Every structure is written in structure tokens, then in C-alpha cells.
Chain A
Amino acid sequence: MARIEINAEACKSCSYCVLACPTKTIEIGKEVNSKGYLYAQQVNPDKCIGCAMCGHICPESAIEVWK
């Protein structure tokens, strides 16, 4: 099963990954990191296809992807 890991501390809440994900499995969550950014979180991870579009677009290299 494909999966991703988001490094919450590196996330700056830009939403680019939310836009890039073809299966709409990432959202900006309601929790903040130590810098005060609402960080991205994966929702319905079962839908993730491991395409890595989120990884490519993330400016902060905060997302790693397994397939």
C-alpha cells in the first residue's frame, strides 16, 4: 500500500500539496507546529496511490513517499 509521511515541523502551510494530490488525500489540518503553521495532514490514506506529486511540489521537502 502506498503511503506518505509529512514532516509537520518543516511544513509552512502553503497548500501546494493539497492542490497537487490527484486523489485529494491531503488537507491543511487544525493543529499548529512549533512555528505556528497549520500543517498539512493526510486524510483517507487508503486512497493514496504513491504518485509522489505531493513530494515533488512541496517547497520545504516535508513529504516523503513510499509505494
Chain B
Amino acid sequence: MAEEKKVYTRTKGIIEGAVSGFCPGCMHSTVHKLIGEAAEELGALDKLVRVEGVGCCGLGQFYVTCDETIAAHGRAGAVATGVKRSSPDSLVYTYQGDGDLAAIGLAETMSAANRGENFTVIFVNNGIYGMTGGQMAPTTLVGMKSTTTPKGRDPEEHGYPMHMSEIINQLTAPYYIERVSCDTAQHVIKARKAIKKAFQYQLEGRGYCLVEIVTSCPTNWGLDTLKSLDFLRDKMFTEYPLGVFRDKGAEEK
């Protein structure tokens, strides 16, 4: 009999034996492990530095093994700029929710992208403020109920969902922008590849990369884990189509 080989291992990027604080089925957990796996595959786990936004990602500080700092709400883009410029050998990423990145942090997000800063943005878009109990985010879908839009988001009153990957794709400087998800094993593998590519580009000094992960928030969407997958596929992917928006690295080849 051929010798047995381990084909899937828990990443060293998350603390041994730790159980995440995220809700059942929440893909924040998935994204955390993918960051660890991607950095590990590049042999760069010891260079990894996390600049954390404010939101449910705050639970990640008790879960990951890398060095990290927490920015004031929305300001991760500015803090990461400082970290990366003063410590250029570090592999720096921001981890931000849609409320953090697209609402309170919009100015810092756009400015860092426009300067083409050489760090990686991990943007977790679940269409809602998860941490604070389900208020409307800029990314909340039209008609979607939240605690601040109890009758559903009404564009007349609340405007339309913001597509951050598309908006940042209007800028000249960004190097790589892709939108992925984690609802199937195939999508998880693709998401890991996207994060790994963004990290690789950073190590090569190529500049600003954004990986948007469209995810669910079963708790504040008020759906069980499996129904939240249906909502993600039927509603979120329609508004936020997955795919590569820009890859200057591929164009150069």
C-alpha cells in the first residue's frame, strides 16, 4: 500500500487549537484561514502583518498568529500605508468589512488605492454592518432589510449599493482587483489563489491589490447557514458579480 500523505492541513496562520469567535457558517473564518494558507504557500508567514479594521474582523485578533495592529474605524488604508512604507519587507494586508471600507473609511480607502500603495486589501463584503447588529451598509442590496431599513433599502431614501471593486477599478494606479467568494470548495480554492496572487504582487513591489470576498452574515441576514448560501448566490452575486476586474501582471505577460 502506498504511503499515506496529508493533503489538507490546518494552516499555521491561525493559532493552534483556537476556535474562532465567528458565528456558524460565517465566512470571516474561511477568509482568515485562506490568508494564512496563501502566506504559507509563499513561505512568507513570518513576514505577514495585519492591519485590522473595525467590525466582526475584530474577533480575528484572537485567532491569527501574525503581528497586527488595529486601525481606528475605516482608517486601515492610512495605517497600512505607514506600516508598509516604514517596514517595506513586511507583507502587509488590511482586513476590512464593507462598513469599515466603504462607509466610514471611504476617503482613506480611495486615497490609498489612488496612490497605488504597495499593500493588499482584503475586503469582506457581507452587505451589512455585522458587528453592531445588522445596520444598513453602503453595500446593502435594494429591498434588503436591516435594522436601519426595516422596510428594506429604498434607493429614494438610502441610495443604491456601492460596487467598490468597480469604483476602485476607475483609478489608474491599482495593480490587481478581483472579486471572489467562499460558498463552494471550488470558490474557496479560487479565493485562496486570488489572495496568494495579491501577496505575490506585493512581494514583487507591484503596488495596490484589492481582493473583495463576497460573503454572508447568516446571523444578521436572519437566515440559517444553508439559506444564507442561497441568498448569497441568488442575490449578492447578481449585484456583485465575481471575476477579475484588473490584473496588470497578466497583461504584462
Contacts and interface: CB of A to CB of B under 8 A. Distances in A.
Contact of A66 (B7, B23, B184, B225): B7
Interface string B216-250: 00000000011001000000000000000000000
Contact of A20 (B6, B14, B19, B184): B184
B42 to A, nearest CB: 18
Given A10-B19, A16-B225, A59 B8 contact: no
B5 A61 contact: no
Contacts of A54: 185
B22 A61 contact: no
B33 interface: yes
B65 interface: no
Contacts of B24: 12-14, 37
B9 interface: yes
B22 A59 contact: yes
> What range describes how many residues of A lie at the interface?
20 to 34
B11 A61 contact: yes
Contacts of A64: 6, 8-10
10 contacts: A1-B1, A1-B4, A10-B20, A52-B7, A57-B30, A57-B184, A59-B28, A60-B29, A64-B8, A64-B9
Interface of B: 1, 4-11, 14, 19-20, 22-30, 33, 182, 184-185, 188-189, 225-226, 229
Interface of A: 1, 3, 9-10, 12-16, 19-20, 35, 37, 50, 52-57, 59-61, 63-67
- Of all A-B residue pairs in the complex, the 7 with the closest CB atoms, nearest first, are A55-B8, A59-B29, A12-B24, A14-B25, A65-B8, A53-B185, A52-B8
